[in-house]
Amino acid sequence: MPAFAVRLIRLLSALAAVVALVVVFLGLIALTDGSGSGLAAWATTLAIGAALAIWRGRRRTWPARLVPFLPVIVAAALTATVCVPTAPTARHHPAALPYVATQHWRLATGSRVAVYHYPPAKSGPRHPVPFVYLNGGPVRGISELDHRFLRLLASRGYDVYAYEQAGGGRSDLLPMGQYSISRSVRDLAAFVDRLGQGKVDILGFSSGGTVLTRALAEPSVAARLHRAVIAEPGPMDGPTARLTGHKGRASARGLAPAPSGPRSTRLPRYAVAFGLMRLGLLTPGTGLIGQAEGDNAFTAADLGSDTASAYCARDAHRIPVEDTRRNFSFSPAASLRVQQTVRDSPSIASQLRRSRTPAMLMIAECSSQVRQWETAVLANDPAVRRAQYMPRVGHHMWNGLDDNNSRAAAVITAFLQNAPAPLPNHPTREEIPAFLRDGA
């Protein structure tokens, strides 16, 4: 056999050994749930590799016995990068916003949440009922794009309050096992009680819409709500989460330029951690990375095409910057934990059918949500008085483009003031089958 062929075979054999050890390492990471920052899996992989290298070199002369150790050394170096933190392991909260004060409220549930208040404009009529905003995420800071929309509502006479749900933004973290959709609902009730101004009007967006829907299904919580606006909700319970079907009109996913900026998922440690968590091979409370480290590491660019999916295809090349790097905050592990508790929850349809709180459903033309998630609310909540199908916008309906903010504000304020809707009431309950069939 030619010498170059022998060398090629040896090289391929060494590369195969490196790959095999890396695969063993990843398997052990999953089996041990990343115990000890991955060091348990790393030490075990190194021991297995060393044992195999000793066995392969047992019949060789002394210098040649070291050759089988080279793939082990390479694999050990590669896998060690998964075990070494490169982001701070203590939580670093976003810096203060220059245009609104951050308050911190300790709720009766034990959650300590960041609160923002936009008083109503001094000129013009003032709406008498406080307005509360529940952002999406589910465990994410409120974006600057959302803050601009909240200021618009305040300029129209609303006394606007918003809080970042426990673990998100400038709010304090919870132990991982305490994150759940039911905790989010209890926190909402505790927040309204802490506000101490009686019933509130409330806007729940995306996963915030899920929290709001479940709040409407609990009479003790719904009693605190005056009117509810459910915008682009996620699945309300386990049976709904398992529904499949089409989404809205084409979004900008796959069409928009890739987001710029640093990505933690380009680093081996966080690519492995977030990737295996997303696949369900690591629990949200994994020992590979702590919750605080994961929050600190995750960047807006890591969301990738998820951001583009919140906009219509026609807007693919003009998607606005939703947030600044200094304000962005997202907790991937806590968000997965909350989403899992929704998927594991029983149906709330029978409780929701007893709801009496006046509600409105907002659906985007280019929604990235499964339509059945949205229509399930309309079908099961008899107190939904109107639905507003928002043309020319994606999941993030108040996105600062064209007149989208003012159109969304007009729909919301008309409902809260019990004024005629600016758009047709569509879809109605009777129109749900046609709405789903036509792929609207």
What is the pLDDT, as a whole number, of residue 214? 98
425: DSSP letter:
B
CB neighbours of residue 95 within 10 Å: 11
pLDDT at 123 over 90: no
Residue whose structure tokens are 């996105």: 399
Strands (DSSP E) found in 5-144: 103-106, 112-118, 131-134
Kindly compute the dihedral angle of the four CA atoms of residues 414, 418, 423, 425, in this order, to the nearest 10 degrees.
Answer: 150
The CATH H-level (homologous superfamily) assignment of domain 103-259+310-437 is Alpha/Beta hydrolase fold, catalytic domain (3.40.50.1820)
The pLDDT score that the predictor gives to residue 53 is 81
Q: Are strands 200-205 and 131-134 parallel, antiparallel or unpaired?
A: parallel
pLDDT score of 9 more than 70: no
Residues linked to residue 276 through DSSP beta bridges, in sequence order: none
Model confidence, pTM: 0.93
- pLDDT tier, 63 (very low <50, low <70, confident <90, very high otherwise): confident
Q: Where are the beta strands (DSSP E) in 38-175?
A: 103-106, 112-118, 131-134, 160-164
Strand partners of residue 113: 105
What is the domain partition of the chain in residue ranges?
3-80, 103-259+310-437
Collapsing DSSP to helix, strand or coil, 434 comes out as helix
Query: What is the reported pLDDT for 1?
Result: 56
Higher per-residue confidence, 301 vs 17: 301
pLDDT in tens, 320-348: 999 999 999 999 999 999 999 999 999 99
| Strand locations in 82-167 (E) | 103-106, 112-118, 131-134, 160-164
> Are the C-beta atoms of 228 and 268 separated by less than 8 Å?
no
pLDDT at residue 56 in the model: 77
